[in-house]
Structure 1
Amino acid sequence: MKLSRKIMYQAILDKDTSFEGIFFTAVKTTGIFCRPSCTARKPKSDNVEFFSTSKECLHRGYRPCKVCKPLHHLNEMPIEMNALIEELEANPGRRLKDGDLLERGLEPHTVRRWFLKNHGITFHAYQRMFRINTAFKKIQQGDGITGAAFDAGFESLSGFGESFKNIFGVAPKNSKAKRVIDLKRVETRLGTMIVCAVTEGICLLEFSDRKMLETELIALARHFNATIVQGSNPHFELLEREIADYFDGKLQDFTIPLSFPGSAFQKSVWKHLMSIPYGTTATYGEQAAKLGRPEAVRAVGRTNGMNRISIIIPCHRVVAKDGALTGYGGGIWRKKFLLDLEKSNK
């Protein structure tokens, strides 16, 4: 995708994350290169040059910016945070306190700040929610409340009951009719993605910086009459494996079960998206015609934009009539990357 110098310079002035991955800004006077959304002071237009890849910047002698870290994936989960989450997944009843974090070489305040920024809750609240989720599933499977509570690391039934009710709105003994949507962060070559799953399958896979993410989560919770809680799910392991294989060019057809609630029209649009062959594209008009609704191009486009399961339901394969890359919630740069990836591995 060819961009004018004027557009790229305006993007860095606006700190526009939608241009992430499309170009890098190199500053002649400092010898540093940045990502488009860098928050550092913006240089004069005459002092910058633009490159398509970080490799080009490095070959021209520029150093990566210490503020925006252009060699890192945007919003990527730090290794040490990922290790903590994996430890909790392996042993949900484990309670890591500040002293445990210090033993692992981690500053509790740093961990707290990262979890607040990326999950909206502290690390200790995240642990408690994870333990509650584990106990909830055991109770759903017929385990006793007392055993489920203590297996999940709670030291008293009263504390367990209070925490349980705060999250699910009901006491443990009245929870049989409740549902949970499990949520997890997944790291990819295009940045962090948020994945949600119910018993039937994956119901959401979105980039963490998508503007409509919160709205989508609210809609899912309402549809399933469920509470969204960080936790493990049997579908997550297969999802992570298939997503990794997809980005490595080893997988073209996903087998992971999906659950995508919507109207009959919406479901028909999303199912058609999955019929567009890997490595090819279709226009919105072609998609509408295939659905037998040639007059519904705009409605089809809107429904594509409402797709909550990115990549697997490949709305990135739909382009404008003239071939332009338009309408992708994860950002045009990601759409371009996905199409280029598929064409190169077709």
Structure 2
Amino acid sequence: MRASRLVTLVLLLQARGPWTADELAERLEVSVRTVHRDVEALRASGVPIRGERGPAGGYRLPGGYRTRLTGLTPDEAEALFLAAPADALGLGGFLADAQLKLLAALPPQLRDRADRAAQLFHVDHRSWFGPDEQPPALGAIAGALWHGRRLRLVHRGRERVVDPLGLVLKGPSWYLIGATERGERTFRVGRVERAVELEQEARRPPQFDLVAHWDAWSRAFEDGLPYIAARVRVAPHKLGELRRVVDSRRRDLLPRHADGDEWLELEVWFERIEHAEGGLLGLGAHVEVLAPPELRTRIEAHVATLARRYGVEHPSSS
């Protein structure tokens, strides 16, 4: 455990500097006293860590110092060679070059593990049967974000200037978090019709945390979606299918199993009444809608239309 922490400490200092003891302690989840002990241990083993006092001080490594990545675990080496969405951002060539350099730095046993992981695993972010969303504006947005420049976007027919703060890949779709004159907004990149990188430097809030912002925004988005409640009777053996069609935010409120043959009366939730109609019709005669009246009327109308189409209402034709 300590060996892994020491390697992480060296890599943090190698990636940037300086780091204060408090920052390292928070990042490594240890005490400040442990950080001081780890630094002394690394110095004793030949790692030239420098300590500087003052407001801009902290621990740093001298420029040009590099350590070979012999501290990687086999699992970490494998993970570094799994597919990443670098091609979509125009970074595929850079990723390949970086992986090649990393392979050269790894010891033989880890090199074999990493190479095998790349042959055995592939991550495909596309959804089945849907279009492969590679928005034409993604490259320009990623470039402006990387260069720290402002963007002029045309989003759903409206032009606006945005300070790009981060890109998020959610399933097959990309989202841009940007600061506008009305505050931070989230844009689906596939709906951006045009993006132009501007010369002005983007303004980035000093405390902005992309992961924390996305987690909070996505939770608020899910919680803010509308839903309707429906009262239904369902055959016990169809409970699993019912769970698959209801609103995922409240799915855990449904029982997972049912004993016996008695039909269950439950309250279930859907985002919209159209979703409820389609999902419940898929269960056929194994579910009955009790409420609300509007949903029951829609189901009845659909069933009546099917009956007329197949001639069920004419006894003489059967």
Fold shared by both chains (TM-score > 0.5): no
Tell me the TM-score normalised to structure 2 length: 0.25
Greater C-alpha radius of gyration: 2
Q: Which one has more relative contact order, counting CA pairs under 8 Å at least 6 apart? A: 1
Tell me the TM-score normalised to structure 1 length: 0.24
